[in-house]
Amino acid sequence: MRLAVLVFPGDRDGFAAVTRLSGERALEVRSGAAQLPHCDAVVVVGDGQVAVGAERADGVNSTAMRALRLYASAGGPVLGIFGGFSLLCRAGLLPGALIARPRGPATSVHVRIEGRPTPFTAAIPAGRVLRLCRQAAAVSFVAPDVAQLEERGQIVFRYTDAAGGVLHDQDACGSIAGISNARGNVVALLPDAVAAVSPAGRDSGDARQIFVALRRHLRPA
């Protein structure tokens, strides 16, 4: 499995973290790249400044992002993580947006797999709860019509407690930890899954399962 990782200025650790987390060969793609390399999937990462910051020429309007739009429109699998979630929304590849909104201190969160199958979740049983690292910046997803996303199965990850119960203090938008586009090939996850990866390749949660699911999607038994 060959992953292309879009790296934008200011993101110093995303590429190395995705490589360690996935256990696969990854190709670093800078924002000025005119085209994407041959790959099986693209991962877009970003820090908290990207997640809630202003639209930047080196991000959503970059040549690499234009190449990503073409890749996604052809059905290529795309995964946005944390700041990458915001970039995919602002690039028009996903509905909604991220806003600054306190969620309270925590070192990890639990998310439940739901919605319709995607390349990154189809091999994970629906209803399974994953423990992930919480992002440093306090951000939440918002959308004008959450009910429609729910109807279409586009809510792919939802914040829960360890047993899978939706947290009572979260509203309809606040419980959303990840979504997909209508086609299902573009997926984004709000918790900063790659932040938990140590230099030794270990992680403090279950984010690795997302890449295992992608591998199984690409190479079914």
Cβ neighbourhood burial of 193 (10 Å; 0-12, 13-18, 19+): buried
Average pLDDT rounded to a whole number, residues 146-153: 94
pLDDT in tens, 76-110: 999 999 888 989 998 999 999 888 766 555 567 89
Structural contact between residues 21 and 207, judged by C-beta atoms closer than 8 angstroms = yes
Q: Please tell me the predicted confidence (pLDDT) of residue 108.
A: 78
Phi, psi of 214, deg, nearest 5: -60, -45
Average pLDDT, the chain: 84
Q: What is the CA radius of gyration of the chain?
A: 16
pLDDT in tens, 28-43: 998 888 899 999 999 9
State which amino acid sits at residue 219.
R
Alpha carbon distances (Å) from 100 to 45, 196, 221: 18, 21, 42
pLDDT of 25 above 50: yes
Average pLDDT rounded to a whole number, residues 145-151: 92
Confidence of residue 195 (pLDDT cuts 50, 70, 90): low
What letter would DSSP give residue 135? P
Structural contact between residues 84 and 44, judged by C-beta atoms closer than 8 angstroms = yes
> Can you tell me the distance from the alpha carbon of 129 to that of 121, in angstroms, rounded to the nearest whole number?
12
Tell me what percent of the residues of the chain surpass a pLDDT of 90.
Answer: 46
Structural contact between residues 84 and 68, judged by C-beta atoms closer than 8 angstroms = no
pLDDT of 168 above 70: no
pLDDT of 57 above 60: no
Q: Which range has the worst mean pLDDT, 54-58, 168-172, 179-183? A: 54-58
> Can you tell me the distance from the alpha carbon of 77 to that of 187, in angstroms, rounded to the nearest whole number?
8
State which amino acid sits at residue 184.
G
